[in-house]
Amino acid sequence: MTAVGTSDVLRTPRFGRRRGRGRSPYTVFLIVLCGALVLTALLGPLLAPYPPDATNILAASLPPSLAHPLGTDSLGRDLLSRLLWGAQISYAAAALIVVISIVLGIVIALVSSWFGGVVDATASGVLNVFIAIPGMLVAIIAVTILGPGFWAPVLAMAFASAPYAARILRGTAQQERHKAYVEALGLSGISTLRINGHILRGVSPIILAQTTFGFGVALLEFGALSFVGLGIQPPTAEWGAMVIAGRTEMLAGDPQQTLSAGAMIVISVVAFTLLGERLQATLGVGR
């Protein structure tokens, strides 16, 4: 076996360096769109022209106008303001779900790939069992026990999503674990923790793609829980809650609340899903 210096090993490129391959206009558009959505969620309270819960019964169910660009709901609350405030809650919930599930998935994948054998077989069997349990069912049970709100559905959905993330990351981590540079690092006396850090760098492309995919899915599922009354409760502005709150208004001929909140959910889910797909192709995930 050819000797490999420690400094050479530490410089081994593993994170999809694809010189000469520029981003396509389509990818740039998706990145800009997703960035604009995230920025809008972060700055939503500052951009909102009115307080989200400010009611004005004399201005109830108004159509779009200069004073209220998206109109008002049945209580006279400005829909644009509620949409901007709701973006922060919806995006924060989806981000926490994705971060927690990905971190748990990384830990499981690294431990499973590093020890292999019985540990890997046991982890694989346990993951298959948990994957067979619908995540939405876990969230509904947790919310039923702990009560609706923000944290109960977020934590339940995060733990329910972790097995999916772990299963996807596990295969890539195993491939990375058996590469020559990992063996060279071990022979060089590098600690297990630092070696796993390099393995983590090797699986970074799939983590990035999975995070983007997962964000859209988490946003949709959290909104669904609020839609059925198990997530954010009125009068707090949140997209899923706004969709169901506007149901009676839609039947009365005022669909702006349901349509605007539903449109933002659809746009966000589609944008982040397509971006995840593009990142997967660009970074060579799964090749």
pLDDT digits 0-9 by tens, 100-149: 999 999 999 999 999 988 998 999 999 999 998 888 888 888 888 888 88
Q: Is the pLDDT of residue 5 over 70?
A: no
Q: Domain extents for the chain?
A: 96-287
**19 pLDDT tier (thresholds 50, 70, 90):** very low
CATH architecture of the domain formed by 96-287: Orthogonal Bundle (1.10)
| pLDDT tens figures, 226-270 | 888 888 988 899 999 999 999 888 888 889 999 999 999 999 999
Rounded to the nearest 5°, which phi and psi values hold at 28? -60, -40
Quick one: what percent of the chain has pLDDT higher than 90? 54
pLDDT the model gives residue 235 = 87
